[in-house]
Structure 1
Amino acid sequence: MTRSGFKAQLSRAAVLVIAGAMTTMAHAASDADEAPAKPVAPKAMHIGDVLTGQLNAMRSRDAKGKRVDVYQIVSEPRRLPAPAGLCNLETGPETFEIVVAGEAQATQLKRLVGKEVAFKVSEVACAEQAGQMSEALVTKWSLVGKN
């Protein structure tokens, strides 16, 4: 191969590399021009609806300083019934604290921590106190299904 032939091949290869780079940049620019997806409107929650997800337990302190278990479920975003609405969130609450009314309910939930559970919601409200780890509180509930 002559020296002039080598230069010609090198220049053709450089042109191909540059053309490939320009094509890649054009595709990247067109992907960036697409509008971001709009948030999906949350499904409305009604009294008596079922809330499902994995049950988590956390330790917290009550007003007297006593350590207590706090139960939480993460579910799809839901729009709460009036007057709570969206709880001042764009998509509605996703984390729901399950409030226990007594020792019997606490014992019932302790054995279900880490498992998929379903709750029939009888009363729900937005979290209002500073430091709460959930966006909404389920104050009256019952377990549904085979738990």
Structure 2
Amino acid sequence: MTTAAYAASDAVEAPAKPVAPKDMKLGDVLHGQLNAMRSRDAKGKRVDVYQVVTEPRRLPAPAGLCNLETGPETFEIVVDGEAQAAQLKRLIGKDVAFKVAAVTCAEQAGQMSEALVTKWSLVGKN
């Protein structure tokens, strides 16, 4: 006679199917909560690293899926100067939307994101 607990432990759950990534084109918008982390740059200086987590995306060629099964979900927002850093600093923890002008897969050891948005602009009321 089998107990319910034993029978339940024998049940094998089907693995979750990976989410099919959306195709991403330059000019598309990434939505998500803006996070910030502290890191060190190549010179050892402490810097803020900004990141947005969103649904999986298939990047434009040649980047594709960034060697991931479902495409990147974690995007580092690369700042180009103090003005952009100040703009993002006030938005940490808030939902933001970025229009992507240039994106690539992360390739350096130690990067905390799967893809880098190197050129962008904020969209909407931020």
TM-score by length of 2: 0.91
CA distance in 1, matches of 2:123, 2:43: 32
CA distance in 1, matches of 2:84, 2:14: 47
Q: Which residue of 1 aligns with 2:97?
A: 118
Q: Which residue of 1 aligns with 2:16?
A: 37
What letter is aligned with 1:145? G
Q: How many residues in Structure 1 have an aligned counterpart in Structure 2?
A: 126
- 1:4-19 superposed matches below 5 A: none
2:76 corresponds to 1:93: no
Q: Which residue of 1 aligns with 2:49?
A: 70
1:28 deviates by 6.2
Structure 1 or 2, whichever has the larger Rg, is 1
Structure 2: runs of 5 or more not aligned: none
Q: Which residue of 2 aligns with 1:10?
A: none
- 1:21-60 superposed matches below 5 A: 21=3, 25=7, 29=10, 31-32=11-12, 35-60=14-39
SS across alignment from 2:85: helix
Higher helix share: 1
What letter is aligned with 1:127? A
Structure 1: runs of 5 or more not aligned: 1-17
1:64 deviates by 1.1
- The structure whose RCO (Cα within 8 Å, separation 6+) is larger is 2
1:41 deviates by 1.3
- Shift of the 59–37 alpha-carbon distance from structure 1 to 2, 3 Å rule, reads closer
2:63 corresponds to 1:84: yes
1:121 deviates by 0.3
Q: Which residue of 2 aligns with 1:7?
A: none
CA distance in 2, matches of 1:40, 1:74: 15
